[in-house]
Amino acid sequence: MDFKLKVPASMSNLGAGFDTFGLAVNLYNIFHVKSSNTFFISFEDLDIKPEENLFLKVYKRCLEAFKEKEIPVDITIKTEIPFSRGLGSSSSAIIGAIKIFDILYKKGLSYDDIFKIAYEFEPHPDNLVPALVGGFNVCLKDDNQTFFNKLDFPKELKILAIIPDVKISTEEARKILPQKIDIKDAVYNIQRSNLLLSSLISKRFELLKEAVKDKIHQPYRKSLIPYYDDIENIAYDNGALAVFISGSGSTIGVFTLRNECLICKRASLFLSAKNIKSSCKILSVDREGAKICQS
Ligand code: HSE
């Protein structure tokens, strides 16, 4: 046995679509599974303690839930998705563990079976759904039932991830949100999340800038991201169509039709002048989700 499974990163929320929109992008966790004499899981280039290894925890939970014994396999994880940056690295690890269990033990798990285990570790379908099925999704979870709809995402839109070297825990970034919101703010977000959907479907890209405005999470979370407003201004001044916090941050997502290298360069130079390390990636949509790839 020798195969690789790759599971994409995701950008969620996309401004007003808090806890709803999830977009898979072409950064991956790649799991290389080989026959072995022992059961061994390791990371390429990273030293992660077993108790911090989410993949291992989820895989062990699958063994327990299905009363299965460990098969001796060697799994090496190569991760291109930075941790705690709002790019769905946890969801990618969770989906990777459940899919590998499913393949090795020939369980034929349905999407619902997979989400049921996944929710024990991560309650956000807007990252789990794109990791599993790829593409741009409208997602929601009602009790334990998951509803999602995968829609076309315009091929011409380039997706940038400006990733400051700042970790943000989703749990902490949820704690700072208000427990109640004004009805005016709810209406504000409903209007804009629908505007986002309709402008992507009809390719009215000039509407995206208004569509990503949000009153539920970004005004609170941007305080956790150094110089968020400056980066937003730099991106818009250089031709970006939409700028938003990816997931709970710290990554800043940008949609653009042009100047992708220039936006990355200017944002990186600005942050570096403020002594903030960062990287910037020019991405595209992953349309397939978790997928076995050539070994
Ligand atoms: N929608 C979730 C949040 C995603 O913004 O908290 C977490 O990655």
| 12 pocket-lining for ligand 1 (C-beta < 6 Å) | yes
> Looking at residues 158-182, what average pLDDT do you find?
95
Distance 217 CA to ligand 1 centre (A): 9
Mean pLDDT for all residues in the chain:
95
- Let me know if the fold of 2-152+285-294 is the same as that of 158-283: no
In this predicted structure, the answer to whether residue 130 has a pLDDT above a threshold of 90 is yes
Instruction: Measure CA 282 to chain center.
Output: 15
What does the alpha-carbon distance between residue 189 and residue 192 come to, in Å, rounded to a whole number?
5
170 phi/psi in degrees, rounded to 5 = -60, -40
pLDDT in tens, 95-116: 999 999 999 999 999 999 999 9
Choosing among 3.40.50.300, 3.30.70.890, 3.10.20.30, 2.60.120.10, the CATH entry for 158-283 is 3.30.70.890
Give, using CA atoms, the residue closest to atom 6 of ligand 1: 248
Pocket test for ligand 1, best of 12, 220, 245 (most atoms within 8 A of CB): 12
51-55, 90-94, 211-215: least confidently modelled range: 51-55
Closest CA to 255 of 243, 268, 267: 243
Ligand 1 centre distance from Cα of residue 90 (Å)? 11
CA of 40 to the centre of ligand 1 (A): 31
Q: What is the mean pLDDT of residues 259-268?
A: 97
Residue 141, beta-bridge partner list? 146
Q: What is the pLDDT of residues 56-81, one digit of tens each?
A: 999 999 999 999 999 999 999 999 99
CATH class of 2-152+285-294: alpha beta
Q: Per the structure block, which two tokens stand in for 210?
A: 């208004």
Q: Please, which pLDDT band fits residue 295 given cuts at 50, 70 and 90?
A: low
How far apart are the CA of 19 and the centre of ligand 1, in A?
A: 6
Question: Residue 50 pLDDT > 90, yes or no?
Answer: no
CA of 87 relative to ligand 1 center, distance in Å: 10
Domain residue extents for the chain: 2-152+285-294, 158-283
Protein residue with least CA distance to atom 7, ligand 1: 247
Ligand 1 atom 4, closest CA: 247
**CB of residue 127 inside a 6 A radius of ligand 1:** yes
pLDDT tops 90 at residue 48: no
Give residue 51's pLDDT band: very low, low, confident or very high (50, 70, 90): low
Closest CA to 269 of 241, 234, 242, 233: 234
Q: What is the number of the ligand 1 atom nearest to the C-alpha of 88? A: 8
Cα–Cα nearest to 162, from 239, 27, 254: 254
- Residues 255, 196: Cα–Cα separation, whole Å: 12
Average pLDDT value for residue range 229-253: 97
What percentage of the chain carries pLDDT values higher than 70? Answer: 99
The finding on whether 174 has its CB within 6 A of some atom of ligand 1 is yes
What is the 21 CA–ligand 1 centroid distance (Å)? Answer: 10
126 CB less than 6 Å from ligand 1? yes
92 lines ligand 1 (CB under 6 A): no
